[in-house]
Every structure is written in C-alpha cells, then in structure tokens.
Chain A
Amino acid sequence: MDNIKMQSVNLNAWFGTKQALKDINISIKTNAVTAIIGPSGCGKSTFIRTLNRMHELAPTAKMSGQILLDDQNIYDSTVDPVMLRRRVGMVFQKPNPFPTMSIYDNVAAGLKLTGVRKDKNLDEVVKRSLQQATLWDEVKDDLKKPGTSISGGQQQRLCIARAIALEPEVILMDEPTSALDPIASAKIEQLVVELKKNYTVAIVTHNMQQASRVSDYTAFMYLGSLIEFGATKDIFESPKNQLTERYITGEFG
C-alpha cells in the first residue's frame, strides 16, 4: 500500500525491565487520522513516543523492532533524531508553551532555534501557522503577550501552531484534550480533522467518543499489546475481538 506514511514493525519497548510494548505492528496512513485507544498504562503513549524517538530520552528506555517513515527505518544509525523530530512533530497532553516566550516567539521558536528559517518570512509563517491552528483571530492583537497568558485550550492550539510552523509531515498528539474542558476539546477535535488535509496525524486518546469522531483508523491496545487495528467504523461498529468490544462498550477501562 502506497499511502502508508509510518509503520511500526515488531516493535517492542521497555522501561528498565518492564516491557511496555509487545510486538506492535501499526501502520499510519497518509493524510488520515489514526487514533490509538486503550486503558491507562496500555502503552499507547509509549507507542506514540517511539514514533519520533522521544521514547529514548527516558533514562532506562529501550526498544527493538523498526519504525518506518516513508520506508526508512528511523532507528537506523544514519538517522539523526533531532532531524527526525522536525519531520514528525508532537503535541503533548498538557499544553506546554515556552514560559519565557511571547505567543509570536512560541510559534517562531521551532524555526528560529533550529536554524531552518532561511529565506522564509517569519511573520508569514507565524500567521499561517496560527491560522491553521484556528487561533489567529483570537490572538492576532496580542502576539507580544506571554504564551502562558492565554487559556488552556488556546495554549494547546498554540502548541499545535508551534508544531505546524516547522511543516512536519506527521503530527503526533498525546492525549491533547485530556487537560481541557469540553468546549476547548471540541475545538481541538475540529482542528484535528482539519489538519489531516495537510498532515498525517496520529492521536492517542482515552476518550473513545473522541476517537470515533476524529479518526479514520483506530488501534486498540491493552497491556502493551495491540488487540485490534482497523478502520474506525469497523472497530466501533463491529469489533472482531471480544476485548475490544468490552472496552468500547465501557465494560472496563
């Protein structure tokens, strides 16, 4: 299949001696939203963090297997994780704008601090990124204010704008709405659907309704294993695995 952007092949991951991921094979399709659901501690965050090599920043983290991005293994010794992370951006659970920077500088930070802004108009990029993150209209007069001065939902969209500014190919989202109220969450969800036009999105969530609303494909994980993976419609309407069915009907989790 040509439209696979990223793919994990027999992926295992550990923290110390504790195995967090067991033989995960998931493919993430281009210009689609792939949701990863499962109860707390099932390894979904660990999985998404292996996709941009953030996993290895934890002191005792280990992994085996492959992650392919456009058919290249990102764990090859020739791949620089810093460069990789410019292609695979990430949005975290809690909004984390840089506390010492203005709204403008937060969005520009990626370009400024990676030194890739050459022949790019910074103002233009900041504006376009904020527009794509549907934040521009709310902050266009306050670009010089601290990034932490806006509301939590706005901060999260600021973080999305910050990730978009680098024009990554893939955007990873690790429970991006879990720290937000329902209205702010709804805005992020709309945004996620909007984003897939230009980007490939993988989103971790423990909110099943959210997964069914925003995603095209869903992976259900449990205790470090991938239980079921398929089109979101199929997973939610006719799950093949009994465990999946019990989880999405709210029997446990």
Chain B
Amino acid sequence: MRGIPAINLQFLTGDGLRYGIGPAIQGTLILIGLTSAIGIPIGIMTGVYLAEYGTNKYASWIRSINDILTGFPSIIVGITAYSLIVVGLTGTFSPIAGAVALAFIMIPIIARTTEESLKLVPNSVREASMALGIHRWRTIISVILPSAKSGLITGTILAVARIAGETAPIMLTILGNTYFFQGLGKAMDALPLRIFASSRSHLQVEQTQAWGAALVLILIVLALNIGVRLASRGRYKR
C-alpha cells in the first residue's frame, strides 16, 4: 500500500536517472519470457516422461534429482550459474545466464506438477486412444495433455510466479543496473534487484521507489495469473 503513491507514468517508464523502474519492469518481463522459453518445454517434457514412461530406473533417478532441485537453495543455483556461465562460459553478466539459473528453479516445479496432473488422467482415456490404433506419442499430445490442461497451466503459473520474484540467482547472473535492455550479452535490471537495491538506500525517494517496485511486481504476477486463466478457459472444462 505504501507503494501506491510512488506509481505514476514516469515511475513506470522512466529509467534510473529519473528514479523510474522502467528498466526493471522490462528486465523482469524479458527474464520471464526467456526462462519460460527454456523451462516450460523442458519441464513439461520431463513431466510427460515421468508420468507416461516413468517405470524404469532412469525415471526414478530423474524423479529424485527433480525432487532435490525443487527444494534447492536458490542462492546455490545462482552461484552455480555464475561460476559456470558468467565466469566460465560467457565472461559477462547476461539475461541468458539469469534465465538459465531461473530455469533450474522453474523446471522441477513444472515437471512435478505435469507428472501429477497426467497421473490424474484416467487410464481408461489412454486405453480408449490406444485401442483406436492411435500412436502413443499422438495419444499423449492430442488426448492426454489436453485432458490435463488445467493442471499444466496451474503448474506453469506457479513456476512463473516463483521465478518472477527470485532475487538471489539473478543477482549473481544479470547483476542489475539502471538502464533499459542493452542486449542479451549485457547486464540487465529486474524488479527484485531494484527492490533490493533501493530498499537499502537512505534516500527517501529510493525507498519509495522500492515500495512502488514491489507493488508492480505483485501486480505483474497477479496479471499473469488472471491472463493465463482467462486465455485457457477451455470449452470443455470439467
């Protein structure tokens, strides 16, 4: 609530020089996009594998690794991405490194919720499809995944909401600054970083900025929730 007075057009679109959080909003949206592009396909594919083919020992290994990653301290994910990508691979802070780090937080959540929601699809539906002479992969794509749609969407929203607010992994990978997007190979700002940096300032104006940024972050997550729910309102919801 203390964020409300901070919000105006200049605040939302202006860059750091005008105490705006435009770059942070832009950065967070870019991060969400990049991370989703990596995390959603891998997460869903992992979940499908675990649910539909997951009776062998590889699957149980994957499942354990997945469970461990789910509860992994995010700062460790950040340090790992920092040492492997920022220092090791590219030599620079970048949104890519940030997205990879966040994907490691996103994938286990999506994989687990995907697996759970696919297991809720009754076996009779699988049988019906197989008995029609429909290939297994086609059964999964066209019959089972649509049946589990609401579960998949919930899992994805959860994961996106989670990564949108993550601070530690991106602090070590995208670094943060006060400029608009400079390129995939450059440091970038994001809302959690802006909140963190500004809230530690002794300047009143920056503290207000932190409150405002926090409110914006909450609103973005909320908007994502509502938006995805509206978009996915299926014709045949049970």
A100 CA to B147 CA in the complex, in Å? Answer: 6
A146 within 8 A of B: yes
Binds A, one of B101-109, B133-141, B175-183: B133-141
The total of interchain contacts (Cβ-Cβ below 8 angstroms) comes to 82
Minimum Cβ distance to chain B for residue A252 (Å)? 30
Contact across chains for A114 and B133 when beta carbons are under 8 A apart: yes
Contact across chains for A113 and B143 when beta carbons are under 8 A apart: yes
Q: Which residue of B124, B128, B139, B238 contacts A148 across the interface (Cβ within 8 Å)?
A: B238
**Chain B contact residues: helix, strand, loop or mixed:** helix
A157 within 8 A of B: no
Minimum Cβ distance to chain B for residue A27 (Å)? 22
Contact with A along B118-157 (1 / 0, CB 8 A): 0000101101111111110011001100110100000000
A94 CA to B132 CA in the complex, in Å? Answer: 16
A243 CA to B82 CA in the complex, in Å? Answer: 76
Q: Which residue of A85, A99, A101, A148 contacts B132 across the interface (Cβ within 8 Å)?
A: A85
Contact across chains for B125 and A99 when beta carbons are under 8 A apart: yes
Number of residues from A at the complex interface, CB < 8 A:
31
Minimum Cβ distance to chain B for residue A56 (Å)? 11
Chain A's closest residue to B138 (CB) is A113
Q: Which residue of B131, B138, B139, B143 contacts A90 across the interface (Cβ within 8 Å)?
A: B131
Contact across chains for B149 and A100 when beta carbons are under 8 A apart: yes
User: Which residues of B approach A to under 8 Å, CB–CB?
Assistant: 55, 122, 124-125, 127-135, 138-139, 142-143, 146-147, 149, 234-236, 238
The 4 closest A-B pairs by CB, nearest first: A86-B133, A85-B133, A90-B131, A96-B124
User: 14 A-B Cβ contacts within 8 A?
Assistant: A57-B127, A82-B133, A84-B133, A94-B124, A96-B128, A97-B128, A98-B143, A98-B147, A100-B149, A101-B236, A109-B129, A113-B143, A148-B236, A166-B132
List 6 additional A-B contacts (Cβ < 8 Å) besides A99-B147, A148-B238. A57-B130, A98-B129, A109-B134, A113-B134, A114-B133, A162-B128
